[in-house]
Amino acid sequence: MRFVIFADNYVTGSKENLEKWIGHPRFELIRHDVREPLLIEVDRIYHLVCPASPIFYKYNPVKTIQTNVIGTLSMSGVILLTSTSEVYVDPLIHPQPESYWGNVNPIGVRSCYDEGKASVQHGIEIRIARIFNTYGPRMNIDVGRVGSNFIPQALRGDALTIQKPGTQTRSFCYLSDMVEGDDTGPINIGNPGGFAMVELAETVKELITPSIEIKMVENTPDDPRQRKPDISKAKEVLSWEPMVKLREGLPLMEENFRLKSKLYCNESST
């Protein structure tokens, strides 16, 4: 019989997202910061911790690197670790295979996250899902991620804020494209289709509020210019590839964001 113990310090997560499970006899919730040891007996550990939005992880860089390094040490016995496409940083190889070391600015503002996630990945027998820009319902609204900025902006009738130059690319993977697998070492999990931010803004505009304006704004330092996964390994080892196209996933995210906020109730949908 499976029993799930869920630990979170709610820095970015929320109990609202767990509503469905709270009260379930085989589910337990603990408020816990992963930088401290957690003394409980378990069969498996899925270590999914660390704020992923640049705004959050840059806010306290020391805490970020501690969360990734000390947090992973205190979770010894870990079965699955979620990594990030950020370990490739501003890649010079495109698309990025798992073997690519990345192109990091070690004194840059993003390094606490990039180096923190990369530093724990060697010599340990664990499964590492290297996740590329996930999007979907229940994301925090207005916390700086591009999808969760653009959709509320479009729903409110505010201009979409493309950070310059707008030609930078990301690959967006819908959250239901999850994976089950049994291979150790890092495996890229992401959508092999790359989008420039201008294309993403045009798509959100077309799908949600065609009359919306788009404006260019200043970017943050060290923003990677391109990112796209090589998913040959996921295809070969896990027989996995993403199913949901961006044009299908964005409306599902929009629907959830409308429900989340009364603010959007009077806005018209297309």
Which residues are known catalytic residues? 113
Asked if 108 touches ligand UDP (CB under 6 A), the answer is no
Task: Tokens for 43, please give them.
Answer: 């069969």
Burial class (CB in 10 A: 0-12, 13-18, 19+), 99: exposed
Cβ 60 to ligand UDP shortest distance, Å: 17
Span from 10-18, 97-105, 144-152, 234-242 in contact with ligand UDP (CB under 6 A): 144-152
CB 239 within 8 A of CB 183: no
Give the 3-state secondary structure of 160-183: EEEECCCCCEECCEECCCCCCCCC
Q: What is the DSSP letter of 84?
A: E
Among 129, 162, 204, 246, binds ligand UDP (CB under 6 A): 162
Span from 63-71, 90-98, 140-148, 177-185 in contact with ligand UDP (CB under 6 A): 140-148
Residues that bind ligand UDP (rule: CB under 6 A) add up to a total of 14
Task: Report which secondary-structure segment, H or E, holds 114.
Answer: helix 111-119
Token look-up 């080892």 returns: 237
Asked if 146 touches ligand UDP (CB under 6 A), the answer is yes
Among 9, 121, 161, 203, binds ligand UDP (CB under 6 A): 161
Asked if 212 touches ligand UDP (CB under 6 A), the answer is no
Task: Point out which residues bind ligand UDP (CB under 6 A).
Answer: 54, 133, 144-146, 149, 161-163, 168, 170, 197, 219, 223
